[in-house]
Structure 1
């Protein structure tokens, strides 16, 4: 049901999704430490989302009677300069994940594994949503003239991130 050439890359993506969950948890904890409850909640919501992505991939391999091989998850950085740096890092990470999903979909098509390609369509749509979300946040920061320091702009950005928790 799954082409053998796709099993390891999907296992690698499982690790990538688990790493993303850890990264967003670390970002959430940084925001919590900085007294930014909106940003903390926003990133905490992404923790569960990334674990859902991981579980979807695990379930797919199990359904295909393919081996799931969990790998070590690298520790994410815990040091961030500002909320701006976190948002930019999260946006860059989502761009990277999009490239990974696109590469998996391309490989599935190359191997004529249409079932796996079909499963990956959900991830392609999900990544589009993530890129739109983070690009919107980056645009909001630019529009507000927020550069990362304390003050009203930081409070407004934190509130904006809290509002995005309900939009997801």
Structure 2
């Protein structure tokens, strides 16, 4: 079970990263007045977070330890966050 637990905990990072990426895209699209696309990306963000939540529930139900991945700071404190690099043609 140790290898499975480790694999699920590793996959949690990918789920949270995907959720955050979709959320960033949603914000960018909303800023461009593309509300329909923004809502779609927001739904995808929630879906990815739901995947992570189910994996966390599974680990806890199995009395295994959950390791929530930390978010790394990519900007110096006090600087605005980087903008999403998606381009809309």
TM range (shorter): 0.7 to 0.9
What does residue 21 of structure 1 align with?
19
Shift of 1:73: 3.2
CA RMSD of aligned residues (A): 1.8
Higher helix share: 1
Within a 5 Å distance, the mapping from 1:1-168 to structure 2 comes to 3-73=1-71, 78-82=84-88, 148=89
Q: Deviations over 1:19-47 (max 9, x none)?
A: 11110000001101111111001001111
Q: What is the alpha-carbon distance in structure 2 between the residues aligned to residue 54 and residue 35 of structure 1?
A: 30
Shift of 1:6: 1.1
Shift of 1:77: 6.6
Gapped regions of structure 2 (runs ≥ 5): 75-81
Gapped regions of structure 1 (runs ≥ 5): 83-147, 149-168
- Pick the structure with greater CA Rg: 1
Structure 1 length-normalised TM:
0.45
Which consecutive segments of 4 or more residues in structure 1 shift more than 4 A?
74-77
Partner-residue secondary structure (3-state), 1:68: coil
Aligned length: 81
Partner-residue secondary structure (3-state), 1:49: helix
